Amino acid sequence: MLVQEFFPRRLFEGTTVFVTGGGSGINLGIACNFAALGASVAICGRRQERLDAAAEQLRTLGARVHAEAADVRDHARLEAVMGNAAAALGPIGVLVCGAAGNFPVPAEELSANGFKTVVDIDLLGAFNATRAAFPQLKQTRGCVLFISAGMAYVPYPYQVHVGAAKAGIDMMMRNLALEWGKYGIRANSIVPGPIAGTEGMRRLGGSEFEARQAAAIPLGRYGTADEIGQAAVFLASPLAAYITGTVLGVDGGSNLPGSSAFGEAIEAMRRAEGKG
């Protein structure tokens, strides 16, 4: 893991990092990067089995871990789990809001409940987590990292629900940075580009379109979960002590040419599935 070569291995010793959706993919990659630098790590998601497997991985990196199921749509449950995490590991110093849901669907075929479901998980879930963690973040003068997406600022076809939710997250992040600076709490967003081997990319194109999509990315490739983890570690570190209210793209420039390569891949995927 590269992060151990460039940051002090004990950088986050004594810090508890809580990651929503931390049982898989990019969020687990973020959790691993903090674990590798000495953090204690708490993760939540809906499935305890998945969390238990992720916890094992985090422990092999030397971390103390608390893994407990919580649906981010349930504020009371999040409060309880964050209380348990604090009792086990110490108060939360870094909150990563990464839990999300996504599926590609034309707006005219998306049900009202489908739209609401993604907004509930992504946007309301991120507020629920941040609100539940606030007393602990105030105590630690901690920071919040939101995992956003390119859909927040570039319209992607079949992503009306995701774009609305992620744009909401980025504006919420700015509001929180404005209001909570007085408590020493920083808030920032990370925008991952297409990340190889993730559930997100399986749903939005799949591996057979990777080469074609990668050709449209200025840096010519998909990113890795580790690369998002490295950006997260930087934003939570003392090197970023004066950075708040920002959206950091970690995307190889993938959003600069717009979303047409993505749109073509989704169209092809839908045709292959007999849709559209």
Choose the one of ligand NAP, ligand COA, none that binds residue 27, judging by a C-beta under 5 to 8 angstroms depending on kind.
Answer: ligand NAP
- How many of the other CB atoms lie within 10 Å of CB of 210? 17
Nearer to ligand NAP, 142 or 192 (CB): 192
By the rule CB under 6 A, 194 interacts with ligand NAP: yes
Residues 12-51 interacting with ligand NAP (rule: CB under 6 A): 20-21, 23-27, 45-47, 50
166 an active-site residue? yes
Q: Counting contacts by CB under 6 A, is residue 199 touching ligand COA?
A: yes
CA-CA distance, 247 to 42, in Å (whole number)?
A: 24
Q: With contacts defined by CB under 6 A, how many residues of the chain interact with ligand COA?
A: 13
**Residue tagged active-site, from 40, 148, 189, 259:** 148
Nearer to ligand COA, 79 or 199 (CB): 199
Is 163 among the residues that bind ligand NAP (CB under 6 A)?
Answer: no
Q: How far apart are CA 269 and CA 265, in angstroms?
A: 6
Longest dimension (CA), the chain: 54
Beta strand 65-67 pairing with 186-192 = unpaired
Task: Provide the mask over 104-123, with x wherever binding to ligand NAP is found by CB under 6 A and - wherever it is not.
Answer: -----------------x--
Tokens 């950075």 sit on residue: 243
Identify what 114 binds: ligand NAP, ligand COA, none; CB under 5 to 8 Å per kind: ligand COA
User: What are the angstrom distances between the C-alpha of 166 and each of 101, 120, 252?
Assistant: 11, 11, 19
Binding partner of residue 59 among ligand COA, ligand NAP, none, CB cut-off 5 to 8 Å per kind: none
Using a 10 angstrom Cβ sphere, with 0-12 exposed, 13-18 middle and 19 or more buried, the burial of residue 14 is: exposed
Residues 6 or more apart whose CB falls under 8 angstroms from that of 179 comprise none
In the complex, the residues that contact ligand COA under the rule CB under 6 A are 100-103, 105, 111, 113-114, 117-118, 199-200, 203
Active site positions, annotated:
148, 166
